[in-house]
Amino acid sequence: MCRPDPLCDLVLVNPPISLEERYGSFASVGSQAPPLGLCYLASSVRKSGYRVQIIDAPALDMDLTHTTAEIVKSGAELIGLTASTVSIFRASELAKALKGNGIKVPLMIGGPHVSSLPKETLEELGHTVATANAAAEAIDLVRREDL
């Protein structure tokens, strides 16, 4: 089921965003919460036999360039980004950077913002949008790559 050539089948990414961007004047007391949604999604996809990597850019203090390089290095055949409302534009910037680096694999954007505004996000960003059933959607996309 897993192909030997890529390092992982799916890479899930919490896009880079600084504490200042997230919390504004409260950045000094803000914190980075673990991306539980990505963890749940990774668990479901792994149970289906696929390899998954999570890149939590804010927790690793990664900028856009470093995050893009790590995604490229992963060799993933599907990329999933998460986005809250405050990070949706950073996710969009990351998607554009990936496309600018010649990434041609499917790109899926999900998370709280997308679940709240799926149609608007799809119209604005133009990528595959994952909503409530992201695990099944991700598994279906990875399987399609197997064909």
Q: How confident is the model at residue 3 (pLDDT cuts 50, 70, 90)?
A: very low
Judge whether 1 lies within some domain. no
Non-local (6+) Cβ contacts of 63 within 8 A are: 16, 57
CA distance 130 to 65: 25
Whether the per-residue pLDDT at 138 is higher than 80: the answer is no
Mean per-residue pLDDT over the chain, rounded = 79
Judge whether 120 lies within some domain. yes
Whether the per-residue pLDDT at 29 is higher than 70: the answer is no
Q: What CATH code is carried by the domain that includes residue 49?
A: 3.40.50.280
Tokens at 114, concatenated = 């997308």
Judge whether 3 lies within some domain. no
Summarised one tens digit per residue, pLDDT across range 65-109 is: 999 999 999 989 889 999 888 888 899 899 989 989 888 888 888
User: What is the number of structural domains in the chain?
Assistant: 1
Q: Strands 107-110, 78-82: parallel, antiparallel or unpaired by DSSP?
A: parallel
Name the residue range of residue 69's domain: 10-20+33-146
Residue 89 identity? F
Mean per-residue pLDDT for 41-51? Answer: 87
Q: How confident is the model at residue 137 (pLDDT cuts 50, 70, 90)?
A: low
